[in-house]
Structure 1
């Protein structure tokens, strides 16, 4: 009642004014001066929980950050120290799942929706600038023609061989980006300079606006026909400078939580991992960039390492249903009869992608009859699945099987198939030639398969699928199989079975391969397999922690690829190594990750950890449950299985 007594009501004919005493900040538990409001430059919905973890990891605020959703598409970021807030404002632009975050301060208003969100700070490189013209005064003039001048990079001038001027400008996202500016000297001579934007993110080469690409440009779709002409090109992007991702969850702060800074020792000393991060220096970054360039060059020189996307691969010896081909192997490596040495086999590449599901295709693929599908075990017994699922449900199994040559391997896989009934199976470390996979496909009752031969006594990949799901090969290497999956119940999407390079010294090759795959296709994407890496030390139990540089490197690759880790249900670890009762190490090396567009397509997906006897890895099962409102209208098709239910 005390609060009500303080209100003053002034009656007028048509309106009533209410004078309200401001609530003290300690009661609100929020300081607007320490709050930022933000929205992402996208029309797609943003998953709050996963966005919070991602942004917490990118920002790593010393005093933590509390993130809430004010309304649909509008978020409030409450910091707890002005230095954390200042660092975020100075370090932009920021991205989540490749979508740009537009930030504004709440210092002048307490209402989040009233904060204008149209401008983003960018570092702009000015190339081809005349000799003697690289000065802050000239930089301010160039910046003023683009937007609001923020900062001039003096450190860039300390490099004797500097190739460009670097200025920080606040740009309006509603305006197309400028590609050039014409500078006029005092003597009347003019010269055109080229502008490059650092950390540009999604950009449309047709309209010049940020936040979308050509394939979703409203202006382009308003034209009767696309003539292919683009006024903007890749030259508008500056060469990427990669940062270091961190474990996001530990930087999030709940309301009322007593805060202890991560990486802080008991006496306030930085932990070893933080020292390593700060002392990593430019040498490590330069080395990583050079290694990535070498990897890309190797991929161009050696097509067998990464085949071009959207190409169908045909082999001389095509295996049909029930045949075992002892001459031809899949994926560019084969074996001669009576010889265990790996040899190259000639491959014919066609420019037309073809369904891997018919007998005219290649690589251990065959058709089954139109009758009832059956599973045949090793002694000739026939199994008919005893349960039916709703249309649109799907499950995928991924397992590092540690070799299929053992007589117990196939019965183990058969038991997994009986229990979980996966529509797609990805196996790594098969340690067999491709003809063995064809035999397994027939015995399990699957309709299609694609296999990568082992190399010596290691490696080997296999992917199997069954009707009504169809697989289209995109590309592959010794470390992944990349296919497009189609089914009448959902739009096409991309599945990648991934096997991370186990050699610790070659980890960065795996990370760069993941980045390359992320740019390979625009379909909704899910990648699943044994990555031979962990995202945080919470993914490991036993002995010493995982090397911090490997955790940071893998997290960086995952973030750069626009992937989101799907939570694992069940036991927390998928790999076990035991050297006695007191020397047991467990890690979560196997996982499934997906892009936001894939998660929007399958919002009810679940990743389950299961068990198998004969490997130190446990299989993981990804279940895609029926979603009524997925935005995709399915054609009606009658299913014979519905009659069986009656």
Structure 2
């Protein structure tokens, strides 16, 4: 099972909702945590039901700021223990396994609130509750190498984070797919990149899930990228399936593509020959459909590739 965490920067945008649905379809998370939803329960419930997540818990936004949404399927048994505007603390049971604690976080953006935030998280656990995982937007750059561009590294905010992790013997899972999870969505010399979204676990939790890995995906609809926690590793290659769309039948080009690709395969007999014809036809239709989607879709994919490149970009020795 996987867990998704994403600061969506508001779900009022149709493109963001579409990106959420597509990303969820791709990775099929059993638990979805969204921060900065900026929407009330009534609106969010419509999206949840379309995504077929069976359970939910919400922290309402204050005015049009903040807001947390937690959705999960029947793969997980989740009990909400406590919550605030910046976190949801839960107990999780999976397939009869030993319970563990999972806290979803949305760190405050204001410096004067950061110390209190980390201290309040520390108070959630005691010595008898050591199997703990935290995931979400920490809103803190913990190390100089986690920042590219903009103002200099803020050591004071980072200290509160490290005091928290050191006191409770917590470690951070690396994210596969890049370094930076947030950007100001500008290019070249004006770009600012930071790692703000994290997965933090106790040693006891890590021992229970030795194959767990974090994954960073790409998006162009929010300044944050979604992150995923795969509890038992990534055993599946997430490749987009081919689907024939009924509307293609109305296009003469589609019929021509099918005929050409079928004939180009030659006289193939038997089941294996039939399979080769199908594979070639599928490839031709996929290429044709990508072209038909126009420059808008191509530009979106190009932008995602640029984002993935920037997420993985490392600081030079000169800091530039």
TM-score scaled by structure 2? 0.70
Compared with structure 1, are the counterparts of its residues 516 and 526 closer, same or farther at alpha carbon in structure 2 (3 Å cutoff)? same
Pairing partner for 1:446 from 39, 53, 57: 53
Provide the residue aligned with 1:420 in structure 2.
27
Structure-1 residue corresponding to 2:129: 522
Kept in 2, the 8 Å contact 1:484–1:492? The answer is yes
Work out which of the residue numbers 20, 23, 40 in structure 2 matches 1:433: 40
Instruction: State how many pairs are aligned.
Output: 234
Question: Hey, what does 1:592 align to over in structure 2?
Answer: 199
- Return the match for 1:471 from 68, 72, 78: 78
String of CA shifts for 1:177-221, please: whole Å, max 9, x gaps.
Answer: xxxxxxxxxxxxxxxxxxxxxxxxxxxxxxxxxxxxxxxxxxxxx
1:491 to 89, 95, 98: 98
Structure 2: which 5+ runs fail to align?
A: 234-320
Residue 625 (structure 1) shift: 0.9
In the alignment, the residues of structure 1 paired with residue 56 and residue 180 of structure 2 have an alpha-carbon distance, to the nearest angstrom, of: 29
Q: 1:625 to 1:501 in 2, by over 3 A?
A: same
Contact 1:398 1:619 in 2 (8 A): yes
Residue number among 227, 251, 275 corresponding to 1:620 in the alignment: 227
Once residues 580 and 622 of structure 1 are traced to their aligned partners in structure 2, the CA distance between those partners, rounded to angstroms, is: 29
Name 2:288's counterpart in structure 1. Answer: none
Higher Cα Rg: structure 1 or 2?
Answer: 1
Unaligned runs of 5+ in 1: 1-393, 627-646
1:586/1:561 Cα in 2 relative to 1: closer, same or farther (>3 Å)? same
Q: Does the 8 Å CA contact 1:397/1:619 hold for their aligned counterparts? A: yes
Paired residue for 1:606?
Answer: 213
Deviation at 1:598, TM superposition (A): 0.6
- Any idea what SS the aligned residue of 1:408 has? helix
Name the CA shift for 1:453/1:423 in 2 (closer, same or farther; >3 Å): same
Partner residue, 1:211? none
1:110-125 alignment, distance < 5 Å = none
Report the secondary structure of 1:459's partner residue: coil
1:292-319 deviations in Å (ceiling 9; x for gaps):
xxxxxxxxxxxxxxxxxxxxxxxxxxxx
| Distance change (3 Å), C-alpha of 1:521 and 1:440 | farther
CA 1:467–1:520: 2 relative to 1, 3 Å: farther
Separation in 2, partners of 1:612, 1:578 = 11
Greater fraction helix: 2
Equivalent position to 1:480, from 87, 96, 99: 87
CA distance in 1, matches of 2:96, 2:206: 16
Of structures 1 and 2, the one scoring higher in RCO (CA 8 A, sep 6+) is 2
Give 1:498 deviation, angstroms: 0.3
- Contact 2:130 2:202 (C-alpha < 8 Å) held by counterparts: no
* Structure-1 separation of matches of 2:44 and 2:100: 24
Match of 1:402 in 2: 9
Counterpart Cα distance in 2 of 1:507 and 1:470: 31
Q: Is the 8 A contact 1:451 1:463 kept in 2?
A: yes
Shift of 1:437: 2.2
User: Which string of whole-angstrom CA distances, capped at 9 and with x for unpartnered residues, describes residues 508-533 of structure 1?
Assistant: 12221221223397151100000100
Please give the secondary structure, in 2, of the residue aligned with 1:591: strand
Quick check: 2:67–2:85 contact (8 Å CA) kept in 1? Answer: yes
| Per-residue deviation, 1:428 | 0.3
| Distance in 1 (alpha carbons) for counterparts of 2:152 and 2:165 | 20
- Taking the aligned partners of 1:426 and 1:509, their CA distance within structure 2 comes to 22
| RMSD of Structure 2 on Structure 1 (CA) | 1.8
User: Is residue 455 from structure 1 mapped to residue 62 from structure 2 by the alignment?
Assistant: yes
Q: Is the 8 A contact 1:534 1:554 kept in 2?
A: no
- Cα shift at 1:579: 5.0
